[in-house]
Amino acid sequence: MNILTIDFETFYSSTFSLSKLTYDEYINDDQFEVIGVGVQKNNDEPKWFSGTKQETRDWLVQFDLDSNAVVMHNAMFDASILAFHFGIYPKVILDTLCMARAVHGATVGGSLKRLAEYYGVGEKGTEVHNFINYRRETFTPTELAAYGEYCKQDVRLTKQIFDLMRPKFNKTELKLIDMTIRMYTEPKFMYDREFLVTHLKEVKDKQRKILEDLNLTASDLRSNPKFAELLRSYGVEPPMKVSPTTGKDTYALAKTDEGMKALLEHENPEVQALAAARLGVKSSLEETRTQRLIDTGDRNCGYLPIGLNYYGARTGRWSACVVADTEILVYNAQQGVAVKRIVDVILSDLVWDGEGFVEHEGVVFNGYAEVITWDGITGTEDHVVFTDVGEISLYQAMQGGHRIKVAGSVEDHHMDSARRLSRTYKK
C-alpha cells in the first residue's frame, strides 16, 4: 500500500474563511473553490495540479486513493474536500495534526510551521497570505506556479513530519485517528428533519405566546427594575455586577454581560424568551441550535458530520471543534459560574467538561492561517489591529515595527482576547 501525502489550496477572503465557518459550511458553500492540490507518492517529488473541479478529480483518480493511505496535515479539512467535493474516500486516513496533539500537546503547537521548525525539516512558505480574495482565474501563470511551489513544500514538510512521528504510534492509535476523521467525512448519524422543523415551530410559537400572555411593552423590557422583577417571578435571581463608575452592585442586564447571555441558555424556555426579547435578538439559543442542525443536515444529504479532535485534551480525550461564537460554561473566582464565548475564555477560567470544571490549555482554532505574535498580540497574520499608524493587519504591524494601541473600545476587547489566548490555525 502506497502512502500519498496531500494538501489542498482553496479560495478564501476576509469574509469567507475557516475562522468564521465550520468545515462543512465552508466546503459546501457556493463560494468554495479548490485553487490547486499537491500530491506526493511515498518519497517521490510532490506534484502540483490546478484545474476545474472535474479536471482536478480526474487528476486525483490516477493515484488510486481508495486503495492507499493518505497523509494530511489537518486531515479533517483536506479529507472533507476529498469526500464532499470530489466523492473520494481514502483507504486509510493519517493526520499529522492529530499525531502532534498526542505527541507534543501544547508544548510545540499544532501548526505545520511550528512542527517544521521543531523537527528542523525545512521552512514553511508564506505565499498563501499574498493571495487572499484570489479566485483560480485571478492568478497569473507565474503566480499560480509560485503557489504550486508553496503547496508542494507543505506536502514535503507533512510527509517528513509524519515519518518522524510515525514510530510513536501503534496501529490501534492510527486506526483511532482514521475513525475520528471519518466521523466527519463519512457521517452515519441522520437527522429527522420533520421532527426538527416541527420542534422549531413549537419553540417559536411557545416563545411568542409567552410574550403575548405577559402583555409586555418595550419599556417593561428596557427597564432594569421591571425586568429584574419579571425574572424573579420565574424564580430566577437577576445577575449582578459591580458598577465600574460607582463601585456598587448593579444589575448585569446589558447585552455584553455574561449573566445576561447565560439567560439565553436557561433551562426554562420562558426565561430564554424573556432574555431574547430583552436583548432584541431574533431567536433564543434553542431556536439557533435547532436551525443549525437542520441546516447542517440539509447541506449533507440528511447526515450530521461529527467534528471531534483526536487527543484534543491533554488527558488524551477527544475535544470538539467549534466556531468562535460557541458559548462555554466556565467558573472563575471573580465571576463564579458564567457563560462565555469560546474566544473570550481565558486560561484562569475553569471549563465544564460534562463532569466538572477543569483546567484547559487555551483555544485551538482549525482554520486557514498560521499565527504570529507581535507587541503582545497573538493572532492570524491578517488579524486587524489598531496601531500608531491606524488600522492595519498584525503582519503589517510586525513588518513595520508599529506599536499596537490599547484603549477601551470593542475592538480593543478583541485584541485583549487575542492576547489571552493562543490561537492555532491550519495553514
Residue 102 · residue 176 · CB < 8 Å: no
Work out the pLDDT band at 416, boundaries 50, 70, 90: very low
Give the pLDDT confidence of 230-263 residue by residue, as tens digits: 899 999 999 998 887 788 899 988 877 888 888 8
pTM for the model stands at 0.67
Q: How many CB atoms lie within 10 A of CB 63?
A: 19
Query: Residue 177 corresponds to which cell in the numbers above?
Result: 485517528
Superfamily of domain 3-185: Ribonuclease H-like superfamily/Ribonuclease H (3.30.420.10)
Work out the pLDDT band at 411, boundaries 50, 70, 90: very low
Give the pLDDT confidence of 85-129 residue by residue, as tens digits: 999 999 999 999 999 989 987 678 788 999 999 999 999 988 888
Question: What percent of the chain shows pLDDT beyond 90?
Answer: 48
**CA–CA dist 73, 52 (Å, integer):** 24
∠ CA 301-63-11 to the nearest 5 degrees?
55
Per-residue confidence (pLDDT) for residue 427, from 0 to 100: 31
Question: What percent of the chain shows pLDDT beyond 70?
Answer: 83
Per-residue confidence (pLDDT) for residue 378, from 0 to 100: 61
Nearest to 314 by CA among 67, 114, 105: 105
Domain assignments of the chain as residue spans, ordered by start: 3-185, 193-290, 325-360, 371-420
Give the pLDDT confidence of 152-180 residue by residue, as tens digits: 999 999 999 999 999 999 999 999 999 99
